[in-house]
Amino acid sequence: MQRVVIRDLSLQFGEQSIFHQFHFSLSDGRFTSLLGASGVGKSTLLRIIAGLHTDFVGDVRLATGTTLAYMAQQDALYPWLSVLDNVQLFAHLSGKRSAQTQSLAQDLLAKVKMSEHLHKKPYQLSGGQRQRVALARTLMSDANLVLMDEPFSALDAVTRHELQALAYELLCNKTVLLITHDPQEAIRLSDDIYVLKHQPATIATKISPQTRPIRALDDDNFGQLHAQLLHELSGDAS
């Protein structure tokens, strides 16, 4: 089943054509990464799928029953709320916070290893800890389509590596689209990898590695895949 189907998408910003009759789809239950140079349209595509950008021509369809969560590079935690209340944000804002939502939030924070920080405010946390809370909040929505816009790019290498593995573990039964600039991140996590290039944007490459994520850096095909993606991203490929 296709969770997302985009057909004949066209979008212009002033005189600049971002997409022209662009086609794209996401298979249900797969972890997909989208790479490409800055400004090529990756985040714009994510926002279109999320329904946050509507000034386009074309057909964007989500499968019946799709529920959606969006995780951005900035954690967007509310500074005046505790960790526990940030994870319950939507229940908190809608007045539906309950013992049940609190119990679920506590379980999710345990999964992201933040149980010791339930009552702290965001300013008391490190960047990696804040992204763990943001991941728990994403999981709280129980969405079956998760859109992630470079959520780990601002973290140090060790923390990024840990959160990549944690995100895959917790999201592996969902349909995920990850925007990233990091070929290694894409290779580690993805069932499918796309490279977006040119203006208007086109899919230059699709790679579906044969082995299952999460892939170790010493995986037999990791170096070859990394070289292929770097070649595509460098602009040298035809």
According to CATH, the topology of domain 2-67+145-234 is Rossmann fold (3.40.50)
pLDDT score for 236: 43
pTM: 0.93
| pLDDT level of residue 219 (50, 70, 90 thresholds) | confident
Q: How far is residue 134's CA from residue 175's CA, in Å, rounded to a whole number?
A: 18
Give the whole-number percent of the chain exceeding pLDDT 70.
98
Per-domain boundaries in the chain: 2-67+145-234, 79-142
DSSP secondary structure of 53-106: ----EEEEEE-TT--EEEE-SS----TTS-HHHHHTHHHHHTT---HHHHHHHH
SS3 201: coil
pLDDT score for 221: 87
Question: Taking phi first (over 0 means left), then psi (-120 to 50 degrees means alpha), and beta for anything else, what does residue 75 get?
Answer: alpha
| pLDDT level of residue 90 (50, 70, 90 thresholds) | confident
